[in-house]
Structure 1
């Protein structure tokens, strides 16, 4: 794992798009693929603490995590690379980078993600009807405190 740079933006966006399509097929995306790519290139990578995981075999970027202060803003893995410990390592890194605690939002429909975060000590503290997010999808706020 390493900090992302501008050259990683395209591959990070591709991971985001593949992961979203596979893990959240019922969630309506408010942005086109090109808009997601532009956002990751122009906002996420240059302005937020963005980390990428690379395949050990040289297969490129297989995961992306974005921290925004004490907010674990995004964590997406290439669907073919789930279950290999990359998400665990990302969460450990996030806790190391924000030792006083973290918060995150995830869609309520994303039960695998919710179980994953709960397994890592995050606790659901708020549920919404989705009116506050761009997707208009019910979500849940989780927090982790050491």
Structure 2
């Protein structure tokens, strides 16, 4: 995967990060109602995510093509530009997350997102809880996954 780099996001990356998120969400989850419009998403990435969360970007020839956001124990966001799916970049970001959180990680994904669920399961995550969606803004049934080292 020549020409691909991963680094911590900078404030000036926020716009590109938001655009990757928007394109990826639209492609992967067309049936899921988004809780916030495009401009609110862009503002959230600029004012909250990139500046206050541990945010990483994947770059191809200087362009943001993927993002990873980590909380204390949670993989909060992992999104790839649709053109970059299936090329090993998601695996690199998950491995980075595991290196950064060696004691374990949890994440949520929507139940309808079969490709994401299969991806996380291939990378050692186990489904530990299913919900009816009442706990998320989209009101979409979701599933919580956990990864523990050596598990």
**Normalising by the residue count of structure 1, what TM-score does the alignment of the two structures yield?**
0.98
Alignment of 1:50-89 (within 5 A): 50-55=55-60, 58=61, 60-89=63-92
Tell me the equivalent position of 2:44: 39
Structure 1 unaligned runs (5+)?
none
Give the distance between the partners of 1:79 and 1:59, measured in 2 at CA: 17
Q: Does 1:115 align with 2:118?
A: yes
Q: Does 1:29 align with 2:34?
A: yes
Give the distance between the partners of 1:74 and 1:53, measured in 2 at CA: 13
Give the distance between the partners of 1:66 and 1:138, measured in 2 at CA: 22
Give the distance between the partners of 2:72 and 2:116, measured in 1 at CA: 21
User: Which secondary structure state, in structure 2, belongs to the residue aligned with residue 140 of structure 1?
Assistant: strand
User: Which secondary structure state, in structure 1, belongs to the residue aligned with residue 112 of structure 2?
Assistant: coil
Tell me the equivalent position of 1:98: 101
Tell me the equivalent position of 1:135: 138
**Post-superposition offset of 1:59:** 5.3
User: Which secondary structure state, in structure 2, belongs to the residue aligned with residue 88 of structure 1?
Assistant: helix
Tell me the equivalent position of 2:12: 7
Tell me the equivalent position of 2:3: none
**Normalising by the residue count of structure 2, what TM-score does the alignment of the two structures yield?**
0.94
Give the distance between the partners of 1:69 and 1:78, measured in 2 at CA: 25
